[in-house]
Structure 1
C-alpha cells in the first residue's frame, strides 16, 4: 500500500461509570503507535486497527473548529484508549502535548480548553458530535472505529489541541481532546495514516500479466498535488517500473489514460485528467527513455468508473491512471 501522508489524532475523555477502576497493565494484543509516545503513567484500555477507512477531523485550515465542513481523511486508522491518574487534568494534558508538538516540529493549529470550547460543547456533546453512533448529532465518525469507554455527562473539564507537521513530503496531523473525571483521565489516540486503497506497487511483471490477460492495468502509485498535474517525487519507483516494461516491449504502443472520480466540475476534471496523462507521458519519455511514438495521452475524467462513486472507497478506486495497449 502506497502511503501518501500520515496523520495521527489523539483524544482524551472520561468514562461515566464511577465503578470503573483503572487497569494495572495494558490489555492483550495492544501496543503504542510508533508515531506517538505514551503519556507518562498511562495504561492501554482499548485498541483497534482499521485497515482502511474514512475519518473526519473538524478543524479548518485557519485553526478553527468546523463541524459542518470537516477535513476528510482516508487511510489506516488505529484507535488507542489510555487511562491515567485524574491528577493529570485536561489543561495539563493539553500543555504536555503542546510542548511535545513543538519539540517534534509540529505547528500548533488550535489549542483551547474548557469555556473556550463553548457552553454547549461539553464532553457529552463532543462525544455525540465526534464519536457516537446515531444520537442527536450522529457523530462525524459514527462509532466505526470503536470506543472502549463512554463519555461523562456534564463534566466541564476538557481541552482540545491540533497540530500539523510536514516530514519528508508527508503531512502529519495531531489532535488531542482531554476530559477529567473523579477516578481517572482517559486518553484516546486516533492515528490515521492517510493513503490510497491497497493495490500493490506496479511492477514490470504485473503490467505484463495484466496486459496479456485484459489489455490494460490500473495504476495507483503515481501521485499528484491536489487539483494539479505536477507529479510527486514518490511516484518515481512506479514510473521506473512502467518504463522498464515499455522499454522491454518497444514494438508495442499504449494509451496513458487519466481518470478521476465524479466530484467537482466535469469540464475541469476532463482537462485535469488529460494534463496528468500528458505529464506521465512526458516523464516516461524525458526521464526514462521510453520512445514517444509508443505513447498516446488521453483524459476521460469520470466517464469510466470501476467502483461506485457513492462511497469514498469507490471514489478512491476511480482516481487512477490506466495503461491500455493500443
Structure 2
C-alpha cells in the first residue's frame, strides 16, 4: 500500500499531459478530422513554453510559467492550423498530413533551438512549476495523500478540462453540431451547419490542447527542452483516446492508467519479482500497452463514422 501511495502522485504527473492531449484528439476526431500530429504539436508547444519561461523567468518569476503555457497553447493552435488547412481546404489525406507535421516539428524545433540557444538543448528553465497542498482535503486519509498533498495544479486543470469538454460536447448545441460533423457531415450540411467551420474549430482546439499538454509535460517532468522531451506521449494519447472510446471521462481514466505505465520503471526495483528485470523492459511498457489497447479495443471502440473521410459538399 505504501508503494502505491508513493507511485500515485507520480503517475498523475505523467497522466496529465496524456489526458489533455487525448482531449485534443477527441475534439478533432469528433469533428471528423483524424489528428495523429499530436506528438508534433506537443513538441512545438513544449518548445514555445520553454522559450517563453526562459526569457521571462527572471523578470516575472513563477508567473512566467502560466504565460509560457498560454504561449504553448497558442503556438500549438497555430501549428495545427496547417493540418486543418491541408486536410479541410485542400482535402489532403489526413494521416499523411499529420505524419508530415510530426516530422516537421522535429526539424523546426532543432533548428530554432540552434538559432536561439546555439545548441540542441535549451538552458535549464529558471523557474519550476509549484506544487500545492489543499487545506483540509490534504488531511483526508489516503485520498488526501494521493490527490491533495504536494500535487501539481496541472492535474486539477486536466480534470476541469475533462468536465468542460464533456459539458461542451454533450450538453450544448455547439457540441451536438460538432459531433454530427464527425458522424454524418452531409446530413449536418443539409441542416445548415457549416461543416468546414466546425472541423476547423475542432482541429484548432485540438492544437491548443496539444500545445498546452506539451508545455505541461516540459515543466513537470524536465528541466530543459530537447527534441526528445515528448518521447512518444502524443502517440500514447492517441491510444488513450481509442481505449477511452472517444469520451472525455474515458480519456481521464485511461490517461491515469497510462500514467502508471509510464512511471513503473522508476519503482520497479521496489516491486517484488520485478527488481531483477532489465530497465529497458519497463521503459517499453507504455508503448506495448498502447499497442495492446489498440489491438484489443480498436474493433470494440467505435469512433466517429466520418473521421478521416474527406468532406465533399456535393456528395450525398
Greater fraction of residues in strand:
1
Tell me the TM-score range normalised by the shorter chain.
under 0.3
Q: Which structure has more RCO (C-alpha within 8 Å, separation ≥ 6)? A: 2
What TM-score, normalized to structure 2?
0.21
Choose between structure 1 and 2: higher helix proportion: 2
